Amino acid sequence: MSPSTARVAVITGAAGNLGPVWTRGLLEAGYRVAALSLHGTEQDPVLVELGSTYGDTLDVITADVTVRDDLEAAAARIQQRWGTPDVLVNNAGVDVPPRPGEGTLLEDVPADTFRRVLEVNVLGAFQAMQVFGAAMSAVGRGSIVNIGSLYASVSPDPRMYDHVPMEPPFLKPPAYGASKAGLVNLSRYFCTHLARTGVRVNTLSPGGVAGGQDAEFVRKFSARVPLGRLARPDELVQPLLFLASDASSYVTGIELKVDGGFTAW
């Protein structure tokens, strides 16, 4: 695929845990990628390395998904440089891994903490779909892939974390699963409204992904997965490319779970 005919993808939260995975996967597949990242994260080592490898087919843009003006400015920059995006990957999200000494009781979770997760994970995706979905609708094509989670379907098991030394014990943010469940339904909502304009909207929900977790967590989590292990980051790329490409031209409104069977039990 030549640069003049390459498709254009937008990724929010490009410097997050999975952002570089989606960015690399789409670049390797021949896409031109606009990687949206918060101020200060645009110098993420992986994004810098990808920029040196893929040159002007990667454009890292500072943008906060909770700020509509940031998204409008990013859309204008992408439109001027490459035209209307073909793909939007809503990856920006807030999660909290276990950190020693930072446990909390459920009744003590601050409302502002809960609200911030919803603002980024749901409102941010909503605004990105408004901005880029409208541009896609205007040209009659596009694919939006919202990144969900297995915790959109099930609650985190606190026993996965009870070996982590902290008191109060680690608490997976209650807003995280709620936000991802909301995002799954928001995807369905947008899919029904954008389908008539040729824009598809789906959710890709990963399960646990290997990324330096402690050995005891890996053991516990793997025992709960029918396939017996966490996912490798590269195993998420082909499902993303399927939803992004014309290979899924008659697929919209679904949640594709890539979780090794975790939610089958």
Does the pLDDT at position 260 exceed 60? yes
Strand arrangement, sheet containing 142-147: 58-62, 32-37, 8-11, 87-90, 142-147, 199-206, 255-258
Residue pair 90/84 in contact by the 8 Å Cβ criterion? no
Does the pLDDT at position 14 exceed 90? yes
Interatomic CA distance for residues 132 and 137, integer angstroms: 9
Give the model's confidence band at 245: pLDDT under 50 very low, under 70 low, under 90 confident, else very high: very high
Q: What is the bridge-based pairing of β-strands 87-90 and 8-11?
A: parallel
pLDDT for res 170:
87
pLDDT for res 99:
66
Q: How far, CA to CA in Å, does 161 sit from each of 164, 170, 207, 216?
A: 6, 7, 16, 9
pLDDT for res 167:
85
Choice between 43 and 70, residue whose per-residue pLDDT is larger: 70
- pTM here? 0.95
Give the three-class secondary structure for 229: coil
Q: What percent of the chain is predicted at pLDDT more than 90?
A: 85
Judged on CB neighbours under 10 Å (0-12, 13-18, 19+), 220 is middle
| CATH superfamily name and code, 8-256 | NAD(P)-binding Rossmann-like Domain (3.40.50.720)
Amino acid at 211: G
User: Structural domain boundaries of the chain?
Assistant: 8-256
Q: How do residues 181-236 score in pLDDT, each as one tens digit?
A: 999 999 999 999 999 999 999 999 999 999 999 999 999 999 999 999 999 999 99
Q: How do residues 90-100 score in pLDDT, each as one tens digit?
A: 999 998 766 66
Positions marked active-site: 176
